[in-house]
Amino acid sequence: MNTDAKTGSLAGVKVIDLTLMLAGPYCTMLLADQGADVLKVEPLGGEFARVSGPFMEEDTGRVMGGSFASINRNKRSLAVDLKTPARKFSTSTSASWTGSVSATRS
């Protein structure tokens, strides 16, 4: 992992990514590509897009599909159980870390 400070027009901007599948992760990928510090929050088992292909030949466990890898580049990831009240509180508290939260409607 590159520990250098991010550069780009959005350097210093922090975003919590609560999106799934394609449109939301694509949007936050663009923000990350421009230097934003994006924290992707996933369910404990990981976002279901992780297990959709295509897969690299050496990924025998099929844990990181190509589509997921491409639209979630330049992001940090955190697995959280959002179904428990304590986790919901910690996620809302985490929003104070950032000026932007990206979420899709479920």
- pLDDT tens-place string over residues 30-70: 999 999 999 998 888 888 888 887 888 888 888 788 888 88
Q: How far apart are CA 55 and CA 35, in angstroms?
A: 27
Query: Bigger pLDDT: 47 or 84?
Result: 47
Q: Quote the Cα angle for 75-3-93, to 5°.
A: 50
Which ranges of 1-56 does DSSP label H, i.e. alpha helix?
23-33
Looking up tokens 């992780």, which residue turns up?
50
Q: What is the mean pLDDT of the chain?
A: 80
Query: Bigger pLDDT: 98 or 52?
Result: 52
Dihedral, 4, 5, 9, 14 alpha carbons, nearest 10:
120
